[in-house]
Amino acid sequence: MLQRDADQNCRVITGLEYLTFETLVVINAGITRDNLLLRMKDEEWTSVMDVNLSGAFNVTRAATRRIMKSKRVRLINITSVVGLQGNDGQANNAASTGGIIAFTKAV
């Protein structure tokens, strides 16, 4: 579970203590706020980035120490194909899912 602290930083507050030597962490959360780019509000862009891309980052960062210690914990990010091929009215979703794909490869 993620919780925002006073500085608006997300932190994982439950669940990590259950990571064992053979655990699979699956990140599959995401939202869409579809709109054509010309009509897209800043809030629509920001909310998708905050949930999709920042959510994957925060969970991954929080789990990294245990993942590296055990060498048997696996992390899987599930995201939309829109990050690879784009879709009309989904610039924010395409950017966030493309970012998750690149982020996962870099980790």
Question: Residue 83 corresponds to which tokens in the numbers above?
Answer: 């990050």
- The string of pLDDT tens digits covering residues 43-72 is 999 999 999 999 899 888 888 877 777 777
The pLDDT, as a whole number, for residue 20 is: 60
Q: Kindly list the distances between the CA atom of residue 25 and the CA atoms of 13, 34, 53, 92, 96, in Å, as whole numbers in the listed order.
A: 15, 28, 16, 25, 20
The pLDDT, as a whole number, for residue 61 is: 87
Query: What value does the mean pLDDT of the chain take?
Result: 81
What residue ranges of the chain have pLDDT lower than 50? 1-3, 5-10, 13
The pLDDT, as a whole number, for residue 6 is: 45
